[in-house]
Amino acid sequence: MPDLLMEKDGPVVVLTLNRPARRNAMTLAMFARLADAWDEIDADTDVRVCILTGAGEHFSAGMDLRAMAGDVDDGDDYDVKGRMEREGSDWIYDGLLKTRHPRVPVIAAVEGNAIAGGTEILQGTEIRVAAEGATFGVSEARWSLYPGGGSAVRLARQVPFTVAADILLTGRHLSADEALRLGLVGHVVPDGTALERALEIAATVAANGPLAVEAILRTLRGTSGMTEAEAFQFEAPL
C-alpha cells in the first residue's frame, strides 16, 4: 500500500499520509512523494484546493527517526538514493512545505497526534481543522534536535512570540482547544470528523473565483514580514 495516497474529486485533492501503523511517521520516500504531489497539483489547473490528512487515528508523529539517520526502506520502490544523488536534499523541505508553497490553498485535517514534523508541516498549510482529541507540539528539543521543518522561524509568526518560545524550548504538547485559542488552528470539531469538515471548507473555497483565491494566497504568503507600505506595493500588480 502506498505511503502517500492522492485522491482527486473534481477541484479538490486529498493527500493522505498512509503509515497508520507508525502513526504516519514520515520517511524520506514520503517527503519525496509529497514534493512530487505538490508539483502534480500545481500542474493541474483543474485543482483549486488540497486537503492534507493522515490515515487512521493520527495525523503524523513527525519524521521517522530511522529516516532522520539517513536509512532508506529497502522495501520501498521509490529511488530515494538516486534522487539524493541527482538533486541533493532540498526536496525534503519542499515536501514539508518549508521551501514550497503550492499554487492552491492547503487545508490540514488533523486527528490524534500532530507532533514534531506533524506540527511543522501543519504550519505550511493555510486552513487547519483539528479534532477535539488532537495533540500538537514541536518536540525536537526533547531529543536534542533542531526543528528543521521551519518552526524556529515561522511558529513565532503564527502565534505570539513568547508562546512560540515556550512551545519550542520546552517541547511541550498542546491540546486542540489551546491550539485554537492561540490561532494555530482555526476549527475544532468532534473526533472523527476533521476530514468531513475540511471537505466542507474545501467545497466553499473551490466554489470561489480561482484567480481571486490564487491572488489572495500570493499576497498572504508574499507580504509576511513586510511593512504595510511594502505590502501594498507587492499587491498592486495583482
What's the CATH fold of domain 4-207?
2-enoyl-CoA Hydratase; Chain A, domain 1 (3.90.226)
Catalytic residue among 40, 111, 120, 230: 120
Per-residue confidence (pLDDT) for residue 238, from 0 to 100:
74
For 58, the grid coordinates are: 493520527
For 7, the grid coordinates are: 485522491
Q: What is the mean pLDDT of the chain?
A: 94
Cβ–Cβ < 8 Å for 130, 110: yes
Q: Which of 197, 128, 124 is nearest to 155 (CA)?
A: 124
The length of the chain, given as a count of residues: 238
Per-residue confidence (pLDDT) for residue 68, from 0 to 100:
60
Task: Tell me the domain boundaries of the chain.
Answer: 4-207, 209-238
Each of the 238 residues of the chain gets a pLDDT tens digit; together they read 789 999 999 999 999 999 999 999 999 999 999 999 999 999 999 999 999 999 999 999 999 877 666 555 556 778 888 887 798 888 999 999 999 999 999 999 999 999 999 999 999 999 999 999 999 999 999 999 999 999 999 999 999 999 999 999 999 999 999 999 999 999 999 999 999 999 999 999 999 999 999 999 999 999 988 999 999 999 888 7
- Cα 204 from Cα 186, distance rounded (Å): 15
Is 140 annotated in the active site?
yes
Cβ–Cβ < 8 Å for 214, 103: yes
Is 57 annotated in the active site?
no
In this structure, what DSSP letter does residue 20 have? G
Per-residue confidence (pLDDT) for residue 135, from 0 to 100:
99
Task: Report CA-CA distances (Å) from 204 to 28, 45, 208.
Answer: 33, 18, 7
Q: Are strands 187-189 and 127-131 parallel, antiparallel or unpaired?
A: parallel
Catalytic residue among 7, 111, 140, 228: 140
Using one digit for the tens of pLDDT, what is the confidence trace for 179-199?
999 999 999 999 999 999 999
